[in-house]
Amino acid sequence: MESRYEGYKFRLKDSLIGVQFLFVAFGALVLVPILTGLDTSVALFTAGIGTLLFQFVTRKNVPPIFLASSFAFIAPITFSIEKWGIPATMGGIVFAGFFYVILSLLVRFRGESFLHKLLPPVVVGPVIVTIGLILSPAAVNMAMGKGNEAMYTQNEAMIVAFISLIATICVMMFAKGIFRLIPILLGIVAGYIVSFFMGMVNFTPIFESAWFRIPNFTAPTFEFEPIIYMIPIAIAPAIEHIGDMLAISNVTKENFLENPGLKNTLLGDGLATSLAACFGGPPNTTYSEVTGAVSITKAYNPAIMTFAAITAILLAFVGKLGAVLATIPTPVVGGIMLLLFGIIASVGIETLIKHNVDLAEPRNMIIVALIFVCAIGGMLLDFGLVSFSGVGLGAVVGIVLNLVLPKTKHYEGF
- Residue 125 pLDDT: 86
Q: List the beta bridge partners of residue 401.
A: none
- Provide CB contacts within 8 A for 148, sequence distance 6+: 157, 329, 330
- Residue 1 pLDDT: 43
Strands 284-286 and 380-382: unpaired
pLDDT tens per residue, range 367-410: 999 999 998 988 888 776 666 778 778 888 998 999 999 887 76
- Residue 35 pLDDT: 84
Task: Measure CA 302 to chain center.
Answer: 21
- Residue 205 pLDDT: 78
Strands 380-382 and 387-389: antiparallel
Residue 265: pLDDT band (50, 70, 90) is very high
| Averaged pLDDT score across all residues of the chain | 86
Q: Does the pLDDT value for residue 2 go beyond 50? A: no
- Provide CB contacts within 8 A for 74, sequence distance 6+: 32, 35, 36, 135, 138
What ranges in 232-329 are assigned the alpha helix state H? 235-252, 262-278, 288-297, 303-315, 319-326
DSSP letters for 14-54: GHHHHHHHHHHHHHHHHHHHHHHT--HHHHHHHHHHHHHHH
Among residues 129, 132, 127, the alpha carbon closest in space to that of 402 is found at 127
Q: Does the pLDDT value for residue 413 go beyond 60? A: no
- Residue 410 pLDDT: 66
Q: Which of 4-8, 57-61, 117-121, 316-320 has the lowest mean pLDDT?
A: 4-8
Question: Higher model confidence: residue 114 or residue 108?
Answer: 108
**CB of 238 within 8 A of CB of 273?**
no
Q: Does the pLDDT value for residue 103 go beyond 70? A: yes
Q: List the beta bridge partners of residue 389.
A: 380
pLDDT tens per residue, range 140-170: 988 898 877 767 888 989 999 999 999 989 9
**CB of 276 within 8 A of CB of 50?**
yes
Question: Higher model confidence: residue 43 or residue 110?
Answer: 43
Residue 233: pLDDT band (50, 70, 90) is confident
Q: Which of 116-130, 154-168, 236-250 has the lowest mean pLDDT?
A: 236-250
- Residue 166 pLDDT: 95
C-alpha span between 354 and 352 (Å, rounded) = 6
- Residue 247 pLDDT: 80
- Show the CA angle centred on residue 247, arms to residues 231 and 249, nearest 5°: 110
Question: Higher model confidence: residue 148 or residue 245?
Answer: 245
Q: Does the pLDDT value for residue 301 go beyond 50? A: yes
Record the pTM.
0.81
